[in-house]
Structure formats: structure tokens, C-alpha cells
């Protein structure tokens, strides 16, 4: 198939594109390569993808409707994996307009492209952050998600609602993926694993928020990609079934997480063991917008695609640490 994949220079985007290319598909990549974090890492990811036959790349933002629709017109993708978004909970506190432009207007532009050019299936990234103020763990798709605690989370929930409207109105099959704290090689520098590894290797202190007591469901990148690709291959239909479905639309939303949450202190300890170095910790209170706990129930995902994330934390962290030291030239 010819697959349009947005956010190709991103962490999950690069790995998903690599997998789809390995499966024999043609991947049309799209990314604006912004400077939210180190552009050199994004360029290095794109260089890896450029080694594959069947990969082409376009550099502009999904906020530009005319240019995006022209891309749909020219490339005629059969399916779309939409991972492009303004990421980060804390950044949304200081740059809210970036989230409105990319996550709302940009997502609308993607829906319009899929609608007008006969896309067979749109799979898009939502987030575990949509669970917001929920305190009942683990999170399941059928829980109410009406109390986001960050603008980022609100935009991701809005994406799910917008997708349902287009699925209902235009019979566009859509599948949302509520990702839980994805980590691994080529990960984002603004996320804890990379930031902690960088500071530990440099002999610098790390800031540990919520006194290290935050509970997180860390999901290894290969498990996230396997889930996304299997979901892409299976089109939803109207009716009840696994995941958050709809009787009136070909619409589904699924949790994608490991299901084995750990407190942040445990993750740091695993990273210390993998790097062979100790961290100097500075304890901080919780930050605005951060969820105190996430835990994933992937039962419905497994029922739908026959797979659920299961990579042990120790294995995933060691793979990340090995890549990090190689990438940093240590």
C-alpha cells in the first residue's frame, strides 16, 4: 500500500515508518521538522529512513490546508497514520497557540484530506493523558474522559471526538491510539528517559518531580509500533466490539500500554543499572498538568488485534541505554 505517515521525523513516526517499509509498503513521510527539540536528532532519524527504498519525504506543517490537500491530491495515499502533533504537557502551559494550530486545525486538515481523497483508514495518535482526573486504575477505554488537566490532553480528546464526527458523517474508518509513555531508542530529548540519561552520563543532577512517586505505564517503542501497524491493517466497522466503538460509525479507540506501571524511582533505578552510573537526584513537587498515575488496561486491544505490549522494563531500558551511549558517542 501507499501510506501517508505524518510526524515522520518524530520518535514514534520514525519507528513506525521503518516497520511499514520493512513490510513492503511505500511510505510518504510528512513533518515540519520544527525546533521543539534538537533538530539534529530529527534529521538523524530521517537519514535512517532515507536508506530504505519506497520512502519519500515532504517538509511542511499540517497547519497549511492548501499544501496538505495538494499532497493528498498528488500522492493519493490508501491509508494514513497521523502522528504529527505539538507534543508535551508542560509546553502547553506556555505555548497554547501551538496546540490549537497543530493539534486542532492540523487534525481538521488531515480529516478533510482523508475525506476528500478516499482514504481507506485513518489511524491517529491520541494519548493516555485524556484520562486526566480519573483516579480508578487501570484506565479502560470505557471510562469517562471529560476532565482533562492539560491543554494537550484536551486537544487529544478533541481529536477523538472530531474523528467520530467524520466517521459518522462520511463513513471514514478511524482508529485512535491512546499511547502510554512510549520510550526506547531514538526517543525524545524532552522526555524523562533521555533527559535523565543525559544528566547521569554528564555527572549532573536530575530533577525528579512529585518526589519520584508518580506512577507511569512505560511502553516500549516496538510494542507501540506493533500495535499501530496491526490496527492499521484492521478496519473498524460500526457496532459494539473491543475498544471504544460506535454503533453509528466505523470508529474505534484503543489503549496501548504495557500494563505494568512502576513508580518513577523504579524507572530511574533501572536506568542507573543499564548505564552503570548513579544519579544525583533533586526532589521537586509535582508540576501543573502532570498526571500522578497512569496504568493501562490493554485487554480490548488484545481482543481486537491479538497482541498486547509486554516488553519488560529492564529489557526496554537496557536497549534504550545501549542506543543512547552509541548515539552520544560514549
Q: Mean per-residue pLDDT for 164-177?
A: 98
Over 60: is that where the pLDDT of 330 sits?
Answer: no
Supply the DSSP symbol for 36: S
81: which 3 cell numbers?
Answer: 497514520
**pLDDT higher than threshold 80 for residue 289:** no
Model pLDDT for residues 1-25, shown as the tens digit of each residue: 999 999 999 999 999 999 999 999 9
Residue 90: pLDDT band (50, 70, 90) is confident
Question: What percentage of residues in the chain have a pLDDT greater than 90?
Answer: 89
Active site residues: 152
pLDDT band at 93 (very low <50, low <70, confident <90, very high): confident
pLDDT over 80 (residue 311) = yes
- Where residue 292 sits, what CATH number does that domain have? 3.40.50.720
Task: List for the chain the helix, strand, coil content (%; round to 5).
Answer: 45, 20, 40
Q: What pLDDT is stored for residue 329 in this prediction?
A: 83
| Model confidence band, residue 228 (pLDDT cutoffs 50, 70, 90) | very high
**Least confident range of 39-43, 168-172, 173-177, 206-210:** 206-210
Alpha-helical segments (H) within 171-312? 192-202, 221-233, 264-275, 299-305
Q: What is the domain range of residue 266? A: 2-327
Number of structural domains the chain divides into: 1
C-alpha cell read off for 248: 453509528
> Within 10 A of 169 (CB to CB), how many other CB atoms are there?
11
Q: Which helix (H) or strand (E) holds 247?
A: none
Task: Look over the chain and give the mean of its residue pLDDT values, rounded to a whole number.
Answer: 95
pLDDT at 287 over 90: no
Q: Tally Cβ neighbours within 10 Å of residue 136.
A: 9
Higher pLDDT, 88 or 172: 172
Residue entry with cell 518524530: 10
Distance separating alpha carbons of residues 282 and 254, to the nearest angstrom? 36
Question: Which grid cell is 244?
Answer: 471504544
What is the per-residue burial (b if ≥16 Cβ within 10 Å, else e) of 231-251?
bbeeebebeeebbbbbeebbb
Q: Give the integer Cα–Cα distance in Å for 253 and 175.
A: 5
Average pLDDT over residues 199-216: 89
CA-to-CA distance for 142 and 208, rounded, in angstroms? 32
Q: What is the mean pLDDT of residues 211-229?
A: 94
Amino acid at each position: 500500500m501507499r501510506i501517508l505517515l505524518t510526524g515522520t521525523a518524530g520518535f514514534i513516526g520514525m519507528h513506525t515508518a521503518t516497520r511499514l517499509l520493512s513490510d513492503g509498503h511505500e511510505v510518504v513521510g510528512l513533518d515540519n521538522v520544527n525546533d521543539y527539540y534538537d533538530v539534529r536528532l530529527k534529521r538523524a532519524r530521517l537519514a535512517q529512513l532515507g536508506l530504505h527504498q519506497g520512502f519519500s519525504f515532504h517538509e511542511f506543517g499540517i497547519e497549511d490546508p492548501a499544501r496538505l490537500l495538494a499532497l493528498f491530491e498528488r500522492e493519493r495515499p490508501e491509508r494514513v497514520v497521523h502522528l504529527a502533533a505539538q507534543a508535551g504537557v508542560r509546553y502547553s502551559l506556555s505555548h497554547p497557540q501551538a496546540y490549537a494550530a497543530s493539534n486542532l486545525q492540523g487534525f481538521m486538515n488531515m480529516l478533510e484530506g482523508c475525506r476528500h481523497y478516499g482514504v481507506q483508514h485513518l489511524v491517529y495518535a491520541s494519548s493516555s493523558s485524556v484520562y486526566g482526573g480519573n483516579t480508578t486504575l487501570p484506565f479502560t477505554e470505557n471510562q469517562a474522559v471529560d476532565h482533562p488537566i492539560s491543554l494537550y490532553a484536551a486537544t487529544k480528546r478533541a481529536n477523538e471526538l472530531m474523528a467520530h464526527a467524520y466517521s459518522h458523517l462520511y463513513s471514514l474508518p478511524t482508529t485512535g491510539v491512546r499511547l502510554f509513555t512510549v520510550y526506547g531508542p531514538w526517543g525524545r530529548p524532552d522526555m524523562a528517559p533521555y533527559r535523565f540519561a543525559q544528566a547521569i552520563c554528564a555527572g549532573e543532577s536530575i530533577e525528579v518531580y512529585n518526589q519520584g512517586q508518580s506512577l507511569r505505564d512505560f511502553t516500549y517503542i516496538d510494542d507501540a509500533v506493533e500495535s499501530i501497524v496491526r490496527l492499521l491493517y484492521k478496519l473498524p466497522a460500526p457496532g459494539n466490539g473491543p475498544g471504544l466503538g460506535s454503533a453509528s460509525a466505523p470508529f474505534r479507540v484503543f489503549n496501548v500500554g504495557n500494563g505494568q506501571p512502576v513508580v518513577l524511582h523504579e524507572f530511574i533505578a533501572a536506568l542507573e543499572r543499564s548505564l552503570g552510573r548513579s544519579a544525583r537526584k533533586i526532589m521537586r513537587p509535582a508540576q501543573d498538568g502532570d498526571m500522578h498515575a497512569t496504568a493501562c488496561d490493554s485487554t480490548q486491544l488484545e481482543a481486537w488485534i491479538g497482541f498486547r505490549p509486554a516488553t519488560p522494563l529492564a529489557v526496554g531500558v537496557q536497549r534504550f541505554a545501549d542506543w543512547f551511549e552509541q548515539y552520544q558517542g560514549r
